[in-house]
Structure formats: C-alpha cells, structure tokens
Amino acid sequence: MKFILLLVLLTSCGIDEPEYSPWQSSPSSRGLTAQHLGWLRGIEGSTKDLKLAIVGDPQAVPGSLKTTITILNHDPTIDFIVITGDITDRGLLKEFEWISEIIDTSNKPILTVVGNHDGLNNGEDIYTKMFGPLNYSFTFRDITFVMWNNNYYEWGVPDFSWLRRQVASNEKVVVVSHQPPNSGTLKKGHEEQWKSIRQEPNMMASIHGHVHHYNFEVEGSLPVYTVDRVTNIHYGLMTIEDHVMRFFNCTPLCSEVQYGSNDNSNLFIRTSQ
Amino acid sequence: MDLMITAICLFGLVSNWIPTHITTQVGGYVGLLTAGAGYEYKNYTTDLLVGYVPAFIGGEALYSVTWKNQVDVYEWMYSDISIAPYFGISTIISLDDDSHLPAEVPAGYYPNTNVMWAPYLGVTRTSGSHSLFFEFTSLDFYLEAKVRNEDYLTWQDVTTYGFGYRYFIPSGELSNE
C-alpha cells in the first residue's frame, strides 16, 4: 500500500512513472509516419522541384541528430527529411523516445525507414507503434518514394515481390532502404534479385545508410547514394530542379557529390520528363 | 547466466542457504511486481529478484531475473533508525524470447540483447527488521550514450528510479527448522 501511495505521490508531483523494464515497448508517440505523410501532402503545392535531406544512422548519437535537425530547420527550401534507419542502437524504448522528441522539433516532415539495429529486442514492436509499417510508399510531386525494409538478419528475406510491384506500378521511383547494395548481409541470390529490380526503367535513385560512410555510385544510369552517419553533423541532399537531379554531401556545408575520377559529364543525372 | 546461478548457489551454501532478507522492488528496470531474497554481509548486500511487468504497461508481458549487488558507503544512526547511501550494479536478464538475437545474426555481430547491466545509486532507511530504499538507476549503454551526447542528453534522459522494501529475517526464525 505504501508503494502505491509513493508511486501516486511521485507521479502527481510531475515525476514520470519509473521504467519497469529496459524491454518495455509502449511508446508515448504513435503513428508518426501517418502524421508526417499527412503533413507532407499539405505542402505538395504545384511545383515539381524537390529538395530532400537525407540523414543516416542516428543510433546512440541523438545530440548530433538534434543539431542536424536544428540546422535543417533553418533551411526553408528543404521539403522533407528521410532518416535512413538505425534510429536506435539496441531497439530500446528510451532510445526511440530520444529520437521522437527530436522529430517533434522539426519544422518539416520526417519519414523514416527501419534499420537493422531497430529490430533488436522489442524494436519492431516499438517501431511499428511509434512510426508505422516497416514497408510503405508515398508519392510526392510525382515521385514515389518506396521505403523498404531490407534488413535480412532481423526480419529474414526482404519482401522483394512488394518492392517489385511498387517499382513496376509507379512511373518515377526512389527506393530508400537502410542496407545499401552489397552490404554483406543479404545472400547472393537476394542481391541479384534486388539488382534486377534496380535496373527497372522506372527507378530514379536508390538511397541508403548503414555503412556509416558516404558512397555514391551509378549503376547504368541509376544513382545509388549512401549517406554518411549523422555524427558530427553529416547529412545528404537530393535535389530536383528543372528536371535535373543532384546529390550533395553536407558537413554541414554542402558540396555536390563527385564520382568517377574527373568525368564531369556524369555529375548531372536527368530525370525522365 | 550459468556463472550467475553458480555464484548464487555457492553463496547460498556458505550462508547455509538461509537468506538474510526478502525483498520487493518497483521500477529501476527490475519490474513492476518483483519478489526475491538475498544476503547481507557487513556493508555488502545482494538480492536475486524475479520481476514481472504486465502487458498494459510493458507493451507485452515481460519477465526478468535481476541480480543486485550493492555496497553501503556510509551509515548514519538516529536512535534505532539507520540511513545508508549505497551504490551498486544489477545484472538484468530478460526471460522473453523477443530479447534474444534472431538465429540469422552471426556470432559477435551485436552485443548481448537479453542481458543488461544497470548501475545504481540509492539510499536505504532501516529500522529493526524493516528497510525501505530508493534508488536512481541507469544502464551501461545509457551512460555510454550520456558520455557521447553530454551536451544533449540530461541525467533525466538516461536514468530512472525504483524503490523497494526488505524484510530482514530474524536469525532464529528460520534456523530452528
């Protein structure tokens, strides 16, 4: 009885309820993906230009994520932000809460894709309650963003048939997944399956995180961009202006990505018109 | 886990299997409903607690076993009441399948997910056979995050609290059995 009275006293004094277990999975924020998609629909407008900020792997570094979001808040030209997974390191509720508090401070929509670390412990349960489905897609200014869970160790074989349907049924597709191609977790047959989907003509770009360092390749005509980890304020930008798509690395000053050796003709990738 | 059980068994043998106290605790990552027993030797106290969190609080029903080890750093006496600050560390083991790594994960790819280490600081008030305690608890991983994000994460972000009760079994009460 004394315990119940003490608990009531503490909580009535504005002190949060204690945590009863590290493995609790009842987040205070729920349905963030649906909320932010609704927000995104509201800012669609009539332009076809687009500026997307790409933030990777804030696991265990919420301070860096907070600083990055504050910087992005000062750039009114950015339409929305994607976080490319590994929101948490251990999939624990407290870690998810740190990130949702930061997301609440953003003045632009933030969409997330699930990372392998987010699947540890009860992470899947917390992620689906706090954000929403592990695979989802949305269309913004005629471009369909396919947020695909491709973390094999935690969820088994990724849903390739869902990905293929999304790519086949939309005209301009950007796939965002945590694991980049050839990250070493997918089996060879799965990598080949994914590569065949990336070669579909509807594919515009492929965006990833996971490896904690920036990488940019062009597969045929498909840009494959892997963002650096957010630590020390690193993020990426994808812009579409007058049907021209570009990628930038920001630290936080932004410079356009270079690839190949000195082949400047490859710096501009034209979107289908 | 095997090592922990062995250590407790050895400790129990040394102490003739009779715990010096029984314990219950709320919060501090140990559970909502917990029960256990332990030993006290000079300024060292250890407890083994089984914890339960119902689904309406935990998201799903959660079960754990916690081994607490703590040392009183000082003791003030006021009449028959003693006040003692202490520090300690708990080993918290989840008994739920979700906290175990999936079979596909290669060995060593992640740290253990079903075992957590929880350092804590607290104070206990003891009068006769009855002892109440209140403590602040963190996890090793949260303290590491605090160090890495010292300008952002507050102590409140990385700690929780718990409180509990110990009943010290009078030495003649069980030994006559």
Is it the case that residue B98 has pLDDT exceeding 60? yes
| B76-86: average pLDDT | 95
Q: Which of B31, B104, B142 has its CB closest to that of A21?
A: B31
Structure tokens at B7: 């250590």
User: Of residues A273 and A182, which shows the higher confidence score?
Assistant: A182
User: Of residues A269 and B104, which shows the higher confidence score?
Assistant: B104
List, for residues A174-232, the tens digit of each pLDDT value: 999 999 999 999 999 999 999 999 999 999 999 999 999 999 999 998 999 999 999 99
Burial of B149 (0-12, 13-18, 19+ CB in 10 A): buried
The per-residue b/e assignment along B15-37, b for 16 or more CB within 10 angstroms, e otherwise, is eeeebbbebbbbbbbbbbebebb
Q: Is B161 on the interface with A (CB under 8 A)?
A: yes
User: Of residues B25 and A1, which shows the higher confidence score?
Assistant: B25
- DSSP-derived secondary structure letter, A167: H
* pLDDT for the residue numbered B111: 85
* pLDDT for the residue numbered B158: 96
* pLDDT for the residue numbered A13: 54
**For residues A144 and A178, what is the distance between their CA atoms, to the nearest angstrom?**
17
Is it the case that residue B30 has pLDDT exceeding 90? yes
Residue numbers in A near B153 (CB within 8 A): 62-63, 98
* pLDDT for the residue numbered A246: 94
Residue numbers in B near A59 (CB within 8 A): none
Q: A187 to each of A165, A182, B119, B133, B159, how far by Cα in Å? A: 21, 9, 40, 52, 40
List, for residues A114-161, the tens digit of each pLDDT value: 999 999 999 999 999 999 999 999 999 999 999 999 999 999 999 999
* pLDDT for the residue numbered A5: 60
Confidence of residue A16 (pLDDT cuts 50, 70, 90): confident
ipTM, two decimals, is 0.88
At A236 the three-state DSSP class reads: strand
**Could you tell me how far CA B107 lies from the centroid of its own chain?**
28
Contact A6 B30 (CB under 8 A): no
* pLDDT for the residue numbered B60: 94
**Which residues in A have their CB inside 8 Å of a CB on B?**
2-3, 6-7, 10, 15, 17-26, 60-64, 66-67, 89-95, 98, 117, 119-122, 125-126, 129, 152-154, 156
Contact between B153 and A58 under an 8 Å Cβ cutoff? The reply is no
User: Of residues A76 and B3, which shows the higher confidence score?
Assistant: A76
* pLDDT for the residue numbered A264: 41
Confidence of residue B16 (pLDDT cuts 50, 70, 90): low
Structure tokens at B128: 């006769």
Give the angle subtended at the CA of B175 by the CAs of B172 and B177, to the nearest 5°.
Answer: 120
% of chain A beyond a pLDDT of 70: 89
List, for residues B146-172, the tens digit of each pLDDT value: 999 999 999 999 999 999 999 999 875
Is it the case that residue A84 has pLDDT exceeding 50? yes
* pLDDT for the residue numbered B103: 78
Confidence of residue B102 (pLDDT cuts 50, 70, 90): confident
Contact between A24 and A51 under an 8 Å Cβ cutoff? The reply is no
% of chain A beyond a pLDDT of 90: 86
**For residues B51 and B35, what is the distance between their CA atoms, to the nearest angstrom?**
7
Confidence of residue B108 (pLDDT cuts 50, 70, 90): confident
Structure tokens at A8: 């009531």
Q: How far is A77 from chain B (nearest CA, A)?
A: 27
Across chain A, mean pLDDT equals 91
